Amino acid sequence: MYGRLRVSKPLPSAGRNGFEEAGLIERESPVEVSRPAEWNFRAVLVTGMMRSGTTLVANFLNSQPGCVVYADLLRSLFAEAEGLGVLDLSRVLTERERNVLCSSLAAEGWRMGLESLGEIPRGEVESWFDLYRLALKSLDKSGNAQVLGTKITREYRYSSQLLDHGARLIFCVRDPRDVLLSSKNRFSNYDLFAYADSWKKSVRLAEGLTMHKNCELVLFEQLLNDGTRPAVIDRLSRLLGVALDSDSESLMLRSGIAVMSNTSFGDVSKPFDPQAGFRWKRHLDEIEVVFASHFLGSEIEKLGLERHKPDTSGLRGLRRGYFTYRVKRRMKDLLLAAYRRAFGSDK
């Protein structure tokens, strides 16, 4: 079971997995936590595996009145915290940790043309979460935004704690066959086994996070479909507490740049363009499609996506290679866990 749910009707054959059909599943309202009066906004983090529609979701949210959501911002805040060994977002930071985090954030703001990130008063920063919320607040140039957030792919380490602190989490998931095909043509460090394993782990993490009322999963294929998109947008509206307009003709970033401006899909001509989905059907013989259809078939089925049975005659070498990769990965994880227990515990 994915999420804390009350099912009023039998689920459709597509399965639940965090993607409710309109009217079929009722969810409790997102939980609120106490916060200073000057922080009268909801923080949101859009995350998920790369090539899963995170940029599209961030751009869509940023196009809405009362919402400011940047793509690929505040990365340094998360990365430096992990590097410093800050595992508890609520604990009081040391002077060095505060200086490193604030300086890194200021440098990122300078690169992005957001000088406000360097003007955060360090005297108001006691914990990592203080700095996170102050950084988001600095992005609100109008002073009346209801939702402030960022999109950061594969930000899994701190997701649970952010949820517990009242932040909203939108976790994007896409058909692994398309994720692998798209990644191969996008990233120089692409490795079939590593990316497939990463996708599988991200879906498992997403399943656990949906137990929290402040988390919503967005299936990329449902967002592109005219029939299922309204239900997805409605869930996001309830999560964020704002009305969201999905009319593609009116989706413009507040700066005047079209929503499609920073998409990496070269042949997509409009928001929610169906051409961005189910591309694997045109590449049935590609190794990515064959591999994902066979080794990730159960996950594909759970998500309610179309199952494809590939030709298994050439799977012997893939099976051996994947097994070897997983053994090596497991050994590396065990060594890393042992190192962290010995040297990397939170201060």
DSSP letters spanning 238-267 = HHHTS-----GGG-B-TTS-BGGGG---TT
Asked if residue 154 lies in contact with residue 202, where contact means CB atoms within 8 angstroms, the answer is: yes
In a domain, 328, yes or no: no
Q: State the CATH number of the domain containing residue 177.
A: 3.40.50.300
Supply φ then ψ for residue 184, to 5 degrees.
-60, -35
The answer on pLDDT for 347 being more than 60 is no
In a domain, 287, yes or no: no
* pLDDT, greater one: 335 or 267: 335
> Can you give the pLDDT at residue 250?
59
Percent of all residues in the chain with a pLDDT value above 90, rounded to a whole number: 61
Q: Is the pLDDT of residue 1 over 80?
A: no
Per-residue model confidence (pLDDT) at position 26:
44
Report which of residues 248 and 37 the model is more confident about.
248
The answer to the question of residue 302 being in a domain is no
Q: Examine residue 284 and state whether it is found in any structural domain, yes or no.
A: no
Determine which of 233-242, 265-274, 276-285 has the lowest per-residue pLDDT on average: 265-274
pTM score over 0.85: no
Q: Is residue 235 part of a domain?
A: yes
**C-alpha closest to that of 54 among 182, 245, 211, 192:** 182
Q: What is the rounded average pLDDT for all residues in the chain?
A: 83
Which residue pairs, CB below 8 angstroms and at least 24 apart, start in 267-275? 271/56, 271/59, 271/60, 272/56, 272/223, 272/224, 272/226, 272/229, 272/246, 272/248, 273/224, 274/224, 274/225
Largest CA distance in the chain: 64
- Per-residue pLDDT tens for 309-335? 887 777 777 888 888 888 887 888 888
Interatomic CA distance for residues 118 and 83, integer angstroms: 20
Q: Is 62 within a domain?
A: yes
Q: DSSP E strands: which ranges in 153-199?
A: 168-173
Instruction: For residue 338, tell me if it sits in a domain.
Output: no
Tokens of 231: 């239900």
Say which amino acid occupies 96. R
Reported as a single tens digit per residue, the pLDDT across 79-88 is 999 999 998 9
CB 21 within 8 A of CB 12: yes
Q: How many domains does the chain have?
A: 1
What DSSP state is assigned to residue 123?
G
* Distance separating alpha carbons of residues 261 and 150, to the nearest angstrom: 17
pLDDT at 77 over 90: yes
Is it the case that residue 174 has pLDDT exceeding 90?
yes
Condensed to tens digits (0 to 9), the pLDDT of residues 120-167 reads: 999 999 999 999 999 999 999 888 899 999 999 999 999 999 999 999
Q: Where in the sequence is the domain holding 122, given as residue range(s)?
A: 6-276
Q: Is the pLDDT of residue 258 over 50?
A: no
Q: Is residue 334 part of a domain?
A: no
